[in-house]
Structures are given as C-alpha cells and as structure tokens.
Amino acid sequence: MDNYIYFQLKEHVRGKVGQDIYLEDIAEVACSEDIVEKVKKLVVLSGQKEGINTIKAVDIIKMVNSAIPRARVLFIGASKISIHMYRDGDTGDKNISSFLKAALTSLLLFIGSGLAIMYFHADVNMHEVHGTIYTAITGEKASGSYWISIPYSIGIGLGIALFFGILPNRKKPKTPDPLKIGMYKYKKDIDTFLEDKVLQKSEEQ
Amino acid sequence: MKKISLIIVGLSGGTAVGAGIFALFTALGVVTRIIDIGKTQRFEYHYKIAILLGSLTSTLVYTYGFNIKLGKGWLIISGLFMGIFVGMVASALAEVINVIPFLTTYMVIDRWLYLLIVGLILGKVIGSLLYWILPGLY
C-alpha cells in the first residue's frame, strides 16, 4: 500500500461530552502497518460541547497530511460525517424528575385515550352495532348489553398490548415492536435535520 | 332500467367501499402486525379469505338482520375479538400520527416508554367501560 491511506467514513457517531474522538472512531482505516497506529490515534475532536459537529473529508485530509507529510489519502464512500456529542446524563434517565414526567405523560395518555375511545364509540354509533350483533347471535332484541360490551372493552386493552408487543412471549424471538421503530425513525429524522442545518451553516461561512 | 342502474350503483359502491376498507387496514399495518406477532406468514391467503368472509357476513347481518340463535356465552367471545381488533386499529392509528414519539422527545423519557403504553391501555379500557356502563352516554 506504500503511503496510501484509505478511509471509509462511518455514518453516524455518538460521543460523550469531554471525551476525545479519534480518527478510528469515525472511520475504517486501511494503510501500511508502520503508520496505521499513528493514523488511528489522530485526535479529530477534543473538548467539544454538546451538539452536532460535522467533519468533511477535506478536513481529515488536511489533518492527516499535517501529521504524516507524504501520505496520499483516499476516501471510499461518504464524504462527510456527523458526530453527535451528548451529555453523560442524557441517556441515563434514572432520576425522579424523569419518572415524574413519565407519570404525567401517562396520565395525559390515560385520560386522552379514554376520552378518544368514547368519542369514537359515540361517533360510529357503536351501541347500535353491538345491538345488531346481539340480535344476530342470540335472536333476542336488545340494544347494547354487558354480555358483549365488557369483553369488548377488555379486548381493546388486549389488542393494544398485542400491537405494541408488551405481552410476555417466551417462545418466539421478538421482532422490534412498532413503537420502537417509530421512536427510531423519529429520532433519525431529527438528527438528519440538525446535521444538515449544521452543515448548511458551516458552508455559508 | 331503474333496477339495472340501481344494481350498477350498488355494485360500484360496494366495490369502492370494500377496496377502501381493505386498503385502510393495509395502510395502517394491522394485518401485517397480526401476522408478524404470530409468525404465520404461510397463511396469508387464508387471512385474506377470512377478511372477505367477515366483511361479507357483517354486511348481510346488517342489511338483512338474520340471526343464528346461540347462547349468550358466544357474545363474550365475539365481544372480546371485536375489542382486540378495535384496540389494534386504534394503536395503529396513534402510531401512524406519531403521538408517542412526539411526546417522548419533548420529555426525554425513553426508559419509561412502556409506562406510557400501560397508561394508554388503562385509559382505553376504562374509557370504554365507562361509555358502556355510565347511563346517558348513548
């Protein structure tokens, strides 16, 4: 490989505030044995505050060239990488305030979803439908009956639990439930937006 | 002539509504989610037939009002299944409009995510029970 250094940038990198980010954290490196350690241990970012930093391939070329003068740097794949620095406490969520927030949000969802299901039943004339089904099965006239409406109400709870996969299931390997996928997509959207904004700003300057 | 045009209107209306219902469930991902939970992709065809028969039966029951004279115990079973399906549709709808991810981003509570769902479930069940039990709501 002579003095060629190949880089393949990773897509997203996360780092804690105060931690140094080395070149090996943000890219796969391939180069000759005698310089590989030196290249990998180049410090890309240090002492960064919370937020998103974008590093372009050109910056890395400059950095590598100043450390190893005769190096020829080649990039494979992406030409920029964003590094998301976050504070240590952010992902922990172990304090009481986060529990309180969760409790409040649960209360909001509890009341809201209860109201929504009532609205829904009134909106679609659910008692009439239940009456029709009652007559269809038993042959008697009745508009709305506890025989059907109470199991129905329990069924709604079961349905939601099934949908979000929170019922215990030991046999089969779990696929990620829709809520996890939804959270992932939502966070990714926000990250992409913030990264693009940071990049735009750095290009304007 | 009148009857022929009525048949045409009824047929096209029914086709549109049937396709619409099926498209709605597909778009919401309810059926795919059910298949995914039980890992029963082999029976995809049977499920299609089941949906078809279900909509057909309920249409006939609703328009002609025939009955099968069974005991009241069957009401419990059908009620339970009705509820499960409605619960799944409701959560699929909430999922499509991103209610929970939106709430959690502003309140940073990944760890308590499932507490939220428990709240959601209790709210739905109790709300539904109140609707049926409290007098004067329908």
A-chain residues within 8 Å CB-CB of B54? none
**Distance of residue A106 Cα from the nearest chain B Cα, in angstroms:** 5
Task: pLDDT band for B9, please (50, 70, 90 cuts).
Answer: very high
Give the one of B112, B122, B133 whose C-beta lies nearest to A102's C-beta. B112
CA distance B54 to chain A (A): 13
Three-class SS state of A55: strand
Pairwise CA distance, residues A201 & A160, whole Å: 44
Q: Is A106 in Cβ contact with B116 (below 8 Å)?
A: yes
B28: chain A residues, CB-CB within 8 Å:
none
B70 contacts: CB under 8 Å, gap ≥ 6: A137, A138
C-alpha B78/C-alpha B10 separation (Å) is 29
Residues 115-134 in A contacting B (C-alpha not used; CB under 8 Å):
115-118, 120-122, 126-127, 132-134
Q: What are phi and psi of B74, to 5 degrees?
A: -65, -25
| Sheet containing A51-56, strands listed edge to edge, beginning at the edge strand earlier in sequence | A12-16, A80-86, A51-56
- pLDDT, residue A156, reads 92
Collect all residues with Cβ–Cβ distance below 8 Å to A187 and sequence separation of at least 6. B101, B105
Nearest to A105 among B72, B107, B129 (CB): B107
| Chain A environment of B100 (Cβ under 8 Å) | 109, 179, 182-183
Q: Contact at 8 Å (CB) between B124 and A157?
A: yes
Type of residue found at A119:
Y
pLDDT at residue B11 tops 90: yes
Cβ-Cβ contacts under 8 Å for A54 (sequence gap 6 or more): A80, A81, A82, A83, A195, A198, A199, A202
List Cβ<8 Å contacts ≥24 apart for A140-145. Answer: A144/B132, A144/B138, A145/B75
DSSP string across A129-153: HHHHHHHHHH-S--SS-HHHHHHHH
Mutate to test the interface with B, among A111, A148, A172, A191 (most CBs of B within 10 A): A148
Q: Tell me what pLDDT residue A53 has.
A: 77
Sign of the dihedral defined by the CA atoms of residues B22, A115, A180, A197, in that order? positive
Q: What is the model's pLDDT at position B125?
A: 92
Asked if A71 and A3 count as a contact pair (C-beta separation under 8 A), the reply is yes
Of B75, B107, B116, the CB nearest to A138: B75
d(CA A116, CA A34): 67
Q: In the structure encoding, which two tokens stand for residue A170, read together?
A: 């030991």
Query: Do the Cβ atoms of A93 and B108 come within 8 Å?
Result: yes
The model carries a pTM of 0.71
Please answer yes or no on whether B95 and A179 come within 8 Å at the CB atom: yes
Please list every residue in chain A whose beta carbon sits closer than 8 Å to the beta carbon of residue B102.
186
Q: Reduced to 3 states, what is the DSSP secondary structure of residue B33?
A: helix
Please answer yes or no on whether A159 and B103 come within 8 Å at the CB atom: no
The first and second tokens of residue A103, run together, are 């409790």
- Provide ipTM, 2 decimals: 0.80
Q: In the prediction, which pLDDT does A128 show?
A: 83
- The pLDDT-based confidence of A94 (bands split at 50, 70, 90) is low
Q: What sign for the dihedral angle of Cα A110, A114, A119, A121?
A: positive
Q: Is B98 left (phi over 0), alpha (psi -120 to 50) or beta?
A: left
CA-nearest of A178, A190, A100, A157 to B100 is: A178
Contacts of B129 in chain A (CB under 8 A): 150, 153
Q: Mean pLDDT highest for which of A55-59, A62-66, A125-129, B80-84?
A: B80-84
Does A45 have pLDDT greater than 90? no
Question: Mean pLDDT throughout A112-119?
Answer: 90
Q: Which residue of A has its CA nearest to B130?
A: A118
Query: Which DSSP category does A91 fall into?
Result: G
Judge whether residue A90 has pLDDT over 60: no
Mean pLDDT across chain A, nearest whole number?
79
Beginning with the edge strand found earlier in the chain, give each strand of the sheet holding A72-76 in spatial order. Answer: A27-31, A4-9, A72-76
